[in-house]
């Protein structure tokens, strides 16, 4: 088992800032399951670089505004 990722994200805040977008709506726009969006939000799953860019594009922000590294 590898160590948990240090990467954090602001997806939950961004969803609420974008018309209180639901996890299901975000999942549909990304083409993933709602469970995957939940896992990414909670830091249990690190998405592929492509999905990370897609998330940033959905919210129309840069990648660093979605994901942060200490």
Among 10-18, 27-35, 58-66, the segment contacting other proteins (CB under 8 A)? 27-35
Long-range contacts: 57-62, Cβ < 8 Å, 24+?
58/18, 58/26, 58/29, 58/30, 59/14, 59/17, 59/18, 61/14
Half-sphere exposure of 31 (CA within 13 A, CB side): 5
Interface with other proteins (CB under 8 A), residue from 18, 29, 41, 45:
45
Q: CB of 19: closest distance to other proteins in angstroms?
A: 23
> Toward other proteins, which CB reaches closer, 3 or 19?
3
Where do contacts with other proteins occur on this chain (CB under 8 A)? 1-5, 7, 31-36, 39, 42-48, 51
């Amino acid at each position: 088992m590898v160590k948990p990722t240090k990467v954090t994200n602001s997806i939950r805040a961004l969803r609420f800032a974008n018309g209180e977008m639901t996890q299901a709506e975000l999942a549909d726009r990304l083409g993933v399951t709602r469970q995957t969006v939940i896992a990414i939000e909670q830091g249990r799953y690190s998405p592929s670089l492509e999905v990370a860019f897609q998330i940033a594009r959905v919210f129309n922000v840069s990648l660093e505004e979605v994901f942060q590294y200490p």
